[in-house]
Structure 1
């Protein structure tokens, strides 16, 4: 089984995010999606994230493309 992993903030999930997930999914059999935590975003200076981690995880899960979702700390 070929596992693929991709990371992102996935704030306000949009078409570009979905295309990224579709392309990643097509590369293997199992897609792991890492979503940045609020603390990780703040440490990188990304202070304009609108959605909570839980909301972003729910949105990515709803696409049906991620086999596993992890939190990027």
Structure 2
């Protein structure tokens, strides 16, 4: 059995998230997803996610191609998560290209192309702009 692991915030679920998770699962038999904790997300992006870590984990776990979900508490623990779940391959979006090559001693590392024209940050900005226009 080949185990795939990936990580992300997965806030405001969109087709880009679905695409990368579906493609990640195609690289193995089992897909494990680390969902960034609220605190980790704040430390990376200086903002909390729209949805709580519990809600995001529940949403991701409901996807048919996701086998297991856990809360990622720290970027520094990625290697420990890879070992804990016995991952054979780490899949990340190509916006992280090269940043996780340090884990090649633990498992394969592959970066998949992101879905063109969509990002959570842009979606949140667009929603906010629409909201501001309605309020004006």
If you compute each CA radius of gyration, which structure gives the higher value, 1 or 2? 2
Greater strand percent: which structure? Answer: 1
**Unmatched runs of 5 consecutive residues or more in structure 2:** 74-136
Number of equivalences:
73
**What RMSD in Å do the two structures reach over aligned CA positions?**
1.1
- SS of residue in 2 equivalent to 1:44: helix
In structure 1, the gaps of 5 or more residues are: none
In structure 2, what is the equivalent of residue 30 of structure 1? 30
More helix by share: 2
Runs of 4+ residues deviating >6 angstroms? none
Q: CA deviation at 1:39?
A: 0.8
Instruction: Classify the secondary structure of the residue corresponding to 1:31.
Output: strand
Instruction: Give the structure-1-normalised TM-score.
Output: 0.92
1:7 corresponds in structure 2 to 7
- Residues 1:46 and 1:26: Cα distance change in structure 2 (over 3 Å): farther
**TM-score relative to the length of structure 2:** 0.51
Structure with more relative contact order (C-alpha pairs < 8 Å, separation 6 or more): 1
Q: C-alpha deviations, 1:16-68, integer Å up to 9, x for none? A: 10001100000001100000001111111340510001111111112122111
